[in-house]
């Protein structure tokens, strides 16, 4: 019999529906609530990605941390049964402490394979991303609400015999907070999947921190270039957020791949164009170590048993075929209006994408 007693979060006036905060308003097994943090140095020596997710309708909480240094990716992943205290963001050796909501967080991973103790501090107000909807045929497969933020980070990271002293002058932090419904493994394929195959997907998610401003660019396109998600917003403290129109991105890919080496994002009114220059520093495919699809060794929301902790070290000079069909987070240096900034150029392009000249899943840059 299910235990329906109140949980600690029920003490707070945060309810949206007449249910305990233990439950979500949907019975969809794919309900989720999670976050991701990026910590990157300005020279491309290191890229740390750390995240935690809750999947209430499958009873799972999990978290991960990955660190790319050189051609090595260190990863620690943990999963457990979801308990009643939703304000305790911890699983295995990984923990996120909300020291001041929307402002300051402590990120820790206490493991011999990869450890960190970091304070992540926002430099700009959180920015809502567009409401994200995706359907397969007539079925709603994804509905997410997200906000994004950038700031500074301080602390220490250790892995593989290396130690990185992190400070806001030489490091940047970005983060994304999202919740809703998003596919997790275990769905039956069914008729809608069979009759509505994915022809192609092209995605850019790009938060950039400059000294005095924050820029967010998002685009999602179908195989024929039809845009289903669009955002370009400039945030300056004390000023109204400024919309920069319909971003158009030109990407220079490494020959024989879909790996971006540099890009130019055209922003703003056509009468007064602005160019965001992107220089890739280092890259971390989310399907390797971080549990994003189509990872074949662990994916978010999957039941691994109680107290599961897994440690991996990946050689990124060795091809990882599944990584080519997932999203990769690239730490990058950006230039706009004579200013230099740093952040993430997250990109995924697989299948057909007519504007890029990709004709199918095997198509790559010349």
Q: What is the pLDDT of residues 22-81, one digit of tens each?
A: 999 999 999 999 999 999 999 999 999 999 999 999 999 999 999 999 999 999 999 999
Q: Residues near 141 by Cβ (< 8 Å), separated by ≥ 6? A: 30, 134, 135, 181, 183
Q: How many helices (H) and strands (E) does the chain have?
A: 1, 23
Classify residue 272: in a domain, yes or no. yes
Number of domains in the chain: 1
Domain that holds residue 291: 29-181+191-356
Residue 350 has pLDDT above 60, yes or no: yes
Determine, yes or no, domain membership for 109.
yes
- Taking a C-beta distance cutoff of 8 angstroms, is the pair 28, 181 a contact? yes
Mean pLDDT of 237-264: 95
**CA–CA separation, 149 vs 132, rounded Å?**
17
User: How would residue 1 be classed by pLDDT, with cut points 50, 70 and 90?
Assistant: very low
What pLDDT digit, counting tens, does each position of 100-153 carry? 999 999 999 999 999 999 999 999 999 999 999 988 888 888 899 999 999 999
What global pTM score does this model have? 0.96
Give the model's pLDDT for residue 189. 66
Dihedral-angle region of residue 351 (phi above 0 means left; psi in -120 to 50 means alpha; beta otherwise): left
Bigger pLDDT: 198 or 156? 156
* 364 is a domain residue: no
pLDDT of residue 5: 86
Q: Report the pLDDT value the prediction gives residue 193, as an integer from 0 to 100.
A: 78
Distance CA 97, CA 117 (A): 11
Burial class from Cβ neighbours inside 10 Å (0-12, 13-18, 19+) for residue 42 reads: middle
Range from 33-37, 193-197, 241-245 carrying the lowest mean pLDDT: 193-197
Per-residue pLDDT, averaged over 178-205, amounts to: 87
Provide the 3-class DSSP secondary structure of residue 187. coil
**Does the residue 158 lie in any domain?**
yes
What digits encode the pLDDT tens for the residues 278-304?
Answer: 999 999 999 999 999 999 999 999 999
pLDDT of 267 higher than 90? yes
For residues 186 and 302, is the Cβ–Cβ distance under 8 A?
Answer: yes
Give the H/E segment covering residue 294: none
Would residue 172 count as lying in a domain? yes
Which range is least confidently modeled, 99-103, 117-121, 266-270, 274-278? Answer: 266-270
pLDDT exceeds 90 at position 273: no
* pLDDT band with cut points at 50, 70 and 90 for residue 89: very high
Whether residue 118 lies inside any domain: the answer is yes
Q: How far is CA 166 from CA 35, 39, 41, 51, in A?
A: 21, 9, 8, 18
Q: Is 8 within the bounds of a domain?
A: no
Q: What is the CATH number of the domain that holds 83?
A: 2.40.370.10
Q: Return mean pLDDT, the chain.
A: 94
Within a domain: residue 285?
Answer: yes
């Amino acid at each position: 019999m299910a235990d329906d007693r109140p949980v600690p979060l029920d003490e707070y006036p945060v309810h949206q529906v007449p249910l305990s905060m233990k439950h979500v308003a949907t019975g969809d097994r794919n309900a989720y609530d999670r976050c991701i943090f990026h910590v990157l140095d300005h020279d491309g020596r290191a890229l740390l990605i750390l995240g935690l997710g809750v999947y209430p309708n499958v009873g799972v909480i999990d978290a991960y941390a990955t660190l790319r240094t050189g051609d090595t990716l260190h990863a620690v992943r943990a999963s457990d049964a979801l308990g009643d205290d939703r304000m305790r963001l911890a699983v295995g050796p990984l923990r996120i402490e909300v020291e001041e909501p929307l402002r300051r967080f402590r990120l820790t991973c206490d493991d011999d394979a990869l450890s960190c103790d970091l304070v992540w501090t926002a430099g700009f107000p959180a920015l809502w991303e567009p409401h994200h909807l995706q359907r397969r045929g007539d079925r709603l497969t994804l509905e997410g609400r997200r906000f994004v933020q950038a700031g500074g980070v301080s602390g220490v990271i250790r892995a593989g015999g290396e130690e990185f002293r992190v400070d806001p002058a030489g490091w940047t932090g970005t983060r994304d907070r999202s919740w809703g419904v998003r596919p997790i493994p275990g769905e039956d394929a069914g008729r809608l999947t069979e009759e509505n195959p994915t022809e192609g997907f092209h995605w850019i998610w790009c938060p950039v921190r400059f000294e005095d401003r924050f820029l967010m660019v998002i685009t999602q396109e179908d195989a024929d270039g039809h845009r289903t998600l669009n955002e370009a917003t400039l945030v300056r403290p004390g000023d109204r957020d400024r919309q920069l129109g319909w971003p158009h991105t030109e990407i220079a890919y490494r020959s024989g791949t879909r790996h971006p080496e540099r890009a130019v994002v055209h922003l703003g009114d056509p009468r007064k164009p602005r160019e965001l220059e992107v220089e890739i520093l280092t890259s971390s495919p989310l399907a390797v170590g971080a549990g994003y699809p189509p990872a074949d060794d662990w994916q978010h929301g999957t039941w691994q048993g109680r107290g599961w902790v897994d440690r991996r070290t990946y050689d990124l000079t060795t091809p990882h075929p599944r990584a080519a069909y997932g999203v990769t987070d690239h730490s990058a240096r950006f230039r706009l209006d004579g200013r230099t900034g740093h952040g993430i150029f997250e990109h995924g392009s697989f299948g057909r994408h007519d504007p890029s000249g990709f004709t199918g899943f095997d198509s790559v840059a010349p």
